[in-house]
Each structure stands twice: as structure tokens, then as C-alpha cells.
Structure 1
Amino acid sequence: MKSQNFRKSGKLFGALCGGLLSSLPAIPQALAQESTVKVNPSPSIFSEPPYNRSQAPGSPESGVTPPRPIPPAEGQVSPVPPRPIPPAEGQVSPVPPRPIPGDRTQQPSPPAVSNDQQPLVEPRQTPSATIALTNGMVNIRLVNNTAAKITFQVIGDTAPRSLEGKSDVTLQALKAPVTVTFERQDSGQLIVTPQASLEPGSLEVTFKEATNATQGRSAMRIERNGSVFLN
């Protein structure tokens, strides 16, 4: 009976030893496979997709730590971007004007001035005479008290005309403003005296010989308000 039990125990021990011996060659092979997985045989695997993101460089799983920014050296200050300077107290920030759609700014052209509105005689501070116009019209009587012939012209209305010495002529229905020029044919100077006549809207102008050149006049202008100026 004891011999049978011993045989059974010997067979069981032999089976256990055989199983252990058969599993020993597989242990190094498993260890080798595990080391092969951890050690990357191809360094370029991270640059050839697809790859395991858990093993990508810089990831926590790969054990590689990304580079950190280098702090400034001792005594140096990190650059700070400049801040806009606010306007001083009491000042307002300039705001550019907004363009208006369709608005085209043009310089206004100066108004056209006709010949009858452009004075040939510069008005003085005090007029030589003043008359009451009739509907903006004036009659002018020229009286030549000299012995010389006088040439006169109404600018814009008549051509140059001659007035004999010791004679007179009347120019009717001249529209103010009006300018009359005159000169002696012997190149002498004239003393001109305008005076309002008793007839409304009429002016009498008398010519005399001047001995002083500063007394000479050569033009007369009548404004719309009836003021008469000599030049």
C-alpha cells in the first residue's frame, strides 16, 4: 500500500518538474519582447504617422520635458510694451472728421465782376458831392470853362469825345455806377468841380485850368448811392 502511494507521489512530482522545465524557455522570450516594446528600434517613428501620441516627444507619458523659457539675467528687466499716454487734464483727444458720403468739397469760385462794377477811381473817405438818383439813373452836364479842348469818355457807354473850350454838353440817362474820364488835349491840368443841380438826378461838372499839378483830376465816378468821387 505504501509503495503505491510513493509511486503516485513520484509521478506527481515528476509532472510538476516537467511543467517547470517546459515553461523556463518562455520566460526569457517574454522578457525580451517587453524590452523590445519599451526600447524604440526606429528613432524616426515619431516623424512618420501614424504613431502613438502617448509616446510623442514632450508628452508626460514619454518622460521628455519640454524646454522652459530662460529667465532674464540678474540686473536685467524684462521688456514691457509701451502704454499709450492719456491726454492731459482739460485736453480732448482729437477725433478725425468723418467723411460724408457723396460730399465733394470744392473751393468756391470768386464771383464774376462786370466792367460796369469795377471802379476805375478809388473812392475817397469823403465824397466830393452827393446827388439823388432817379431810378438809379443820372444826367451829367459837362461845362468847359477853359480855352483848351477837352477829351472825355463814359467808360463802357461811349467812345472818346471832344468838348470845345467855353462850351458844354449833357450826358443823359447814365446808369450808376458810372465812370467818366477827361483830359486836356494840350496836356494841361484840370480842376474839376462836381455839384448837384436843381433838377433831380442831375449833376453839373465844371472844368477850370489848374496851375498846380497836385490840383489836377482826370476821372470821376458816381456810385449807386449818389456819392461822387474824383481822382
Structure 2
Amino acid sequence: MNLRSKVWQPFAILSGGIFAAMLAFSPMGVEARPPWIGGNGATDVPMHDLASRYQFLSADLQPENGEVSIELINTMDAPITYQLVGDTQARRLRPSEAVMLTSVEPPTTLNIYRKDGGLLSAIAEETDDPSKVQIMVNPTDELEGDERAIWINEEGEVFVN
């Protein structure tokens, strides 16, 4: 062992220990260990718990026979493109038109975007039918208000992001 390694060895051990301690816990209190600290790096936190920690609940549905319906309404003067991930191809919705997506099995994600890259605001509203949500897509000028994904978890909770 040369002089350089003797000088840097305590620093490397100390910094490695601090780095490992910092990685052992996330700010949300969920254990998130990298593989070299033990375990396989996975957590036992259900996906719906993670979403609810980062987003606000927009609507709460009661799936009927494991299915929900989504009414997507384009209130803008520009067409939008939408896709129910894993269920549909990308489809276009013209200005001031609506579409009803039925027999949707949660968990699912609905992505929306404008071809011209304009900002979108999506508002999820519950309806008289407890298994149906209405999504109104509006233009917005605020970057913080740009929402392009609607996620519905297994329990029917709707999150807009």
C-alpha cells in the first residue's frame, strides 16, 4: 500500500458510509436500498400509495365489474391527440368534440397532447355514474398547469398530472 492509498483510504471509507446512509432512506420515509446495501433494491410500497404521495386525488370512482368509463371533452379550438396506454392507438379529438371510452380496466393511463405543443389543463370531475369520470381538456398559459396524463389506479382513484 503506498502513501496515497493510506491518505485516501479513511476518506473513502467515511464518504462511502455517508453515501450509503443517505441512500438507505428516501425523503418520504420509504425504505429504498440500493442492491449493494442489502436486499434487491425493490420496495413493498403499492403503486397507488406512491401516486397519492406525489399527486392530489382528482376524482374517486367505483369500478363496476372491474371497469370504468372516461368521457374526454376537448373544449379548445385546437385538436388534441389521446391514447389509452396499452388499450388504444393514438387518436385525434377535434375541437369542441367529446369521446366516451368504455370498458376501461384500471390501472390505466390516458395521455393527451397537442400537436402544436401548446399547454393543456385537464380537469377530472365525478359524474352521477360512480364508475364514470369526465375529463375536460382546456388550454392553459401556465407551465405549472400543464397536465398531460390521467392515471386511474386499481381502486378507481383518478390522478391528473
TM range (shorter): 0.5 to 0.7
SS at match of 2:128: coil
| Corresponding position: 1:144 with 2:74 | yes
User: Where do 1:205-216 residues align within 5 Å?
Assistant: 205-216=135-146
Compute the displacement of 1:213 (Å).
1.1
* 1:22-70 deviations in Å (ceiling 9; x for gaps): xxxxxxxxxxxxxxxxxxxxxxxxxxxxxxxxxxxxxxxxxxxxxxxxx
* 1:93-138 deviations in Å (ceiling 9; x for gaps): xxxxxxxxxxxxxxx9999xxxxx989x944353111111112100
Match of 2:160 in 1: 230
SS at match of 2:99: strand
Q: Which amino acid aligns with 1:148?
A: A
**Measured at CA, do residues 212 and 110 of structure 1 come closer, stay the same or move farther in structure 2, by a change above 3 Å?**
closer
Match of 2:86 in 1: 156
Return the structure number with greater strand share: 2
Greater Rg over alpha carbons, structure: 1
| Corresponding position: 1:127 with 2:127 | no
Compute the displacement of 1:225 (Å).
1.1
Contiguous gaps of at least 5 residues in structure 1: 1-107, 112-116
Q: Which amino acid aligns with 1:219?
A: A
CA–CA separation in structure 2 for the residues paired with 1:136 and 1:224: 8
User: Where do 1:70-85 residues align within 5 Å?
Assistant: none
Contiguous gaps of at least 5 residues in structure 2: 1-38
CA–CA separation in structure 2 for the residues paired with 1:187 and 1:172: 28
CA–CA separation in structure 1 for the residues paired with 2:51 and 2:40: 25
Match of 2:129 in 1: 199
Q: Which amino acid aligns with 1:169?
A: V
Q: Which amino acid aligns with 1:174?
A: V
Match of 1:75 in 2: none
**Measured at CA, do residues 110 and 136 of structure 1 come closer, stay the same or move farther in structure 2, by a change above 3 Å?**
farther
CA–CA separation in structure 1 for the residues paired with 2:104 and 2:55: 24
User: Where do 1:99-114 residues align within 5 Å?
Assistant: none
| Corresponding position: 1:189 with 2:119 | yes
Q: What RMSD, in angstroms, separates the aligned Cα atoms of the two structures?
A: 2.4
CA–CA separation in structure 1 for the residues paired with 2:145 and 2:51: 17
Aligned residues with identical type, % of pairs: 28
CA–CA separation in structure 2 for the residues paired with 1:187 and 1:173: 30
| Corresponding position: 1:167 with 2:97 | yes
User: Where do 1:8-157 residues align within 5 Å?
Assistant: 122-123=51-52, 124-157=54-87
Q: How many residues align?
A: 118
CA–CA separation in structure 2 for the residues paired with 1:160 and 1:110: 34
Q: Which amino acid aligns with 2:136?
A: T
Q: Which runs of 4+ in 1 moved over 6 A?
A: 108-111
**2:59–2:133: 8 Å Cα contact kept in structure 1?**
no
